[in-house]
Chains A and B, each alone.
Chain A
Amino acid sequence: MMTASYIPAFKRWWLVLITAAVLAFLIIPVFIVIPVSFSDSKYLGFPPEAYSLRWYRNYWNSSEWLSATRASLVAASLTTLVATPIGIATAYSMRSLPPRVAGFVQLLMLLPMVVPSILIGIGVFYLYIQLKLVNSMFGIVAAHTLLALPFVVLTMQAAFATFDFRQEQAAMSLGASRFSAFMRVTLPQVRSSAISGGLFAFIISLDEVVIGLFVAGGSNTVITRKMFVALRDAVDPTVAAISTLFIAVSLSLLTASLFTRSAKR
């Protein structure tokens, strides 16, 4: 009798077919808005009947959209600058905390990921009303930092888990302060994770909608808030042009993140 061996999934045509279909389901909608954004018509046709840069011009000539873009980019950059160092410091310090305290900090870091964002949204809104921070850039960055922190912390924890901290002790025994040992010995070796964490923070802030609906209005209206309102109330094709720009940003950041991840080894 011959020994049958296990048939791998990719040798069964129907499994290959299902996988291909599911991947198509995942990928096609991401790219469908690109041709739509070049449509000449006010109508959301696909494929578009005539092509033009009309909606890009619309975007470029709208001071409202531009100022919302600026607010979002400022918020995302500041969030990255704040959340990344704090996240790195937190992941670094958690190793030397007593286990119970570290467990508590870990739990705190998971909360922004698991508490529904609508609750964080109205909670932050309520707090900001008392503190008069509604629609302030400081308030937006603080709230986005709250959301981004867990991603930086988790990424850095994974990096520190495999790092040999005796290198830091060696540097310190040679006279380096703890800070300079960290900056010159540790950080360069976990750099790719730190960059990954920073990219995460940036995209989380840039994409955030729900909290922005409550606390990112006025002169600091973020672009996602404007997009959401445009989608919910009336379908403005300008959103297609902006979506295409968003896709370009997401793809660049994803490529950067994959690149730094593969550079790790």
Chain B
Amino acid sequence: MAENAALLSRVERRNRLRIGLLSAAAVLIVTVLLLLPILWLFGLSFTQKGAFSLVHYQRLIDLPSYRAILLQTFRVSVMVTALSIILGYPVAYMIAQLPAKLAGLLLALILIPFWTSTLVRSYAWLVLLRDQGPVNEALVWTGIMSGPLNVLFTESAAVIGMTHIMLPFFVLPLYAGIRSFDWSLAHAATSLGAPPTSTFLRVFLPLSLPATFAGAVLVFVQCLGFYVTPAVLGGGNVTMVSMKIASNIEQYFDWGAASSYGMVLLICTLAILYTAHRLLDLNKVMTAR
């Protein structure tokens, strides 16, 4: 009997191991194409002419231009995140209260840009924001502005375009988070005499904060590493850390400089995600799409 049990558990264990090995391909891919190269870059960032050196990190501290790039990256990311919250929160709040069919339709409208190429949307903003583009024509025509606003190829253009890309990343998880809100709580509050505004402020808003925060973190870290849209819409007047990394490789083939910038970007990203993950379950947010 005992022998049989031992045999069974051995068979069971072998079975589990065999099934477990099905993960091997994915583990191998991530290890070889992501973990290994990043460890390599980490090493390169501490190397100068084959010897250990802190020169690349020293330059990050010494060069004012680098501080400016870091500052611009953070400023742009903060603005895009703030805009995403301001624009996205009412939409998610609204959709969460609509009947299922209508909510599904509006969500599909949000999925359309989500599934459309970043390049295509950046190009669209290139058309929209030109001096003679439709946005400026409309502003002048309605008399809001006397002349065209020179937005294109400025930080503002990058912020507008990036917000367009990032907004679905904020709305979708926020909607998933507040969909399960128990509206009878709101009814209870109002039946106890709370006006709608304070019901919103004191019942709904606090309960929606974790999902809001999670969506905002997701947007913020993606902005930190954003490359395509700021490069196209900023027209050389906006430099994000990612663009500096790319130009270090493309123009100067300077792996040390690129890696040290990259490590700073990576550490910022992972630190923010890790901190947020300790506060709330980001796993849930990542899967909400």
Contacts and interface: CB of A to CB of B under 8 A. Distances in A.
Interface of A: 3-10, 15-16, 18-19, 22-23, 25-27, 29-30, 32-33, 36, 44-47, 86-87, 89-90, 92-94, 96-97, 101, 105-106, 108-127, 142-143, 145-146, 149, 153-154, 157-158, 178, 203, 206-207, 209-210, 213-214, 224, 227-228, 231-232, 235, 239-240, 243, 246-247, 250-251, 253-254, 257-258
Contacts of B196: 4, 6-7
Q: How large is the interface on B (under 10, 10 to 19, 20 to 34, 35 or more residues)?
A: 35 or more
B132 interface: yes
Nearest to B164: A29
A123 B40 contact: yes
B167 interface: yes
Contacts of B22: 89-90, 92-93
Question: Sorted from nearest, which 3 A-B pairs have the closest CB atoms?
Answer: A116-B225, A123-B37, A93-B22
Contacts of A109: 26, 30
A94 B16 CA distance: 10
Given A4-B191, A127-B32, 11 more contacts: A5-B191, A26-B113, A27-B109, A29-B164, A90-B25, A111-B34, A112-B34, A158-B287, A207-B119, A231-B232, A258-B108
B120 interface: yes
Given A19-B94, A116-B225, A253-B115, A6 B23 contact: no
A22 B106 CA distance: 11
A93 B20 contact: yes
A108 B87 CA distance: 33
Given A26-B167, A246-B116, A118 B287 contact: no
B85 to A, nearest CB: 12
Contacts of A87: 26
B227 interface: yes
Contacts of B225: 116-119
Contacts of B23: 89-90, 93-94, 97, 105
Interface in B106-157: 106, 108-113, 115-128, 130, 132-134
A127 B40 contact: yes
Given A112-B34, A207-B117, A119 B40 contact: no
Contact of B127 (A5, A16, A32, A258): A32
A232 B262 contact: no
B33 A142 contact: yes
B120 A213 contact: no
A126 B26 contact: no
Nearest to B203: A6
Given A25-B164, A105-B26, A213 B246 contact: yes
Given A3-B191, A36-B127, A251-B112, A127 B33 contact: yes
Contacts of A29: 113, 121, 124-125, 128, 164
B20 A101 contact: yes
Contacts of A247: 116, 120
B120 A30 contact: yes
Given A23-B110, A227-B119, A126 B37 contact: yes
Interface string B254-282: 01001100100110011001000000000
Given A92-B19, A117-B225, A122-B249, A22 B88 contact: yes
6 contacts: A30-B120, A30-B124, A45-B132, A96-B15, A97-B20, A246-B117
A8 B16 contact: no
B227 A117 contact: yes
A86 B25 contact: yes
A208 to B, nearest CB: 10
A32 B41 contact: no
